[in-house]
Amino acid sequence: MKTLTFKGYCPSCQLSINSVLMRYNVANELECPSCNLRIYEDGKKLALIHHNRGKNEFALKLTPTFNQGLYYTEADLLYDTYSNGSLLTNKEDLADYIAEIHPKTSRNLLHVLVDSYIAAFYQDKSLEYYYLISDLVGIDISQTMFNTEHKTSIYLFQYLHFVIECYDTNDFEGLENFPMNSSILDIYEQEISNYKEVLEQDIFLQKVALQNLIVTVIKNIYMPTEVTK
């Protein structure tokens, strides 16, 4: 019987006959964008499957190519970042182990706010769910609440909805069509320009960068004191 090995694709999704490339998250682990399974690869021979799933927070970093497969290993129950020494060499053992992995953990509510807004206002899905998340976060990005004295916030609000439109239509190249003032340019350089070389190679990372940009703009509009800390 051929030993199962990890070559960059989510083992949980592969069990369901789906091929999903795993991506680096902000903790520098590989995480599945579909089911959030987390794997730590030691760069040598082992791919450790964690007991806890990720939070869907991805880094702007390309997934490496695994020319030689890594052996799956179980995580220790008490110390999830360490192997318990057991290898998962066949589909049955792998499936049994993955079945015991904890369900998805809570995501960043600002990311949920963005996704629920796009679902409600661009995809004709639940408005009720968006307003539930909006109420939890204390932010409603569906309408401007600024008076004429807040010109900076109004312009950022216009930029926010321009970027949301780009996100929904996958128009990464169109980002540069908005006339940027100095504050927007600073945000753009922080979230996009610094990673341009990587982003031009990967559509998935473009979506991640667009969502990060949206969240940063939201923070600058509605949570400016947190941004300046």
Residue pLDDT, tens place only, 45-72 = 899 999 999 999 999 999 888 888 899 9
Number of separate domains in the chain = 2
The last residue of one of the domains, among 40, 67, 99, is 99
Residues 84 and 174 in one domain: no
Whether residues 148 and 60 fall in one domain:
no
Last residue of a domain, one of 99, 120, 154: 99
Residues 84 and 11 in one domain: yes
Same structural domain for residues 62 and 161? no
Same domain? For 155 and 58 the reply is no
Residue 142 has pLDDT above 50, yes or no: yes
Distance CA 169, CA 163 (A): 10
**Residue 190 belongs to what domain range?**
109-227
Q: Does residue 149 surpass a pLDDT of 60?
A: no
pLDDT value, residue 46: 92
Query: Is there a single domain that holds both residue 182 and residue 115?
Result: yes
146 shares its domain with 183: yes
Same domain flag for 125 and 200: yes
Q: Specify whether 55 is located in the same domain as 133.
A: no
* Co-location of 155 and 194 in the same domain: yes
Residue 104 maps to a domain: no
Q: Give 122-132 pLDDT, tens digit per residue.
A: 998 989 999 99
Whole-number Å distance between alpha carbons of 163 and 215:
10
Asked whether residue 113 falls in the same domain as residue 92, the answer is: no
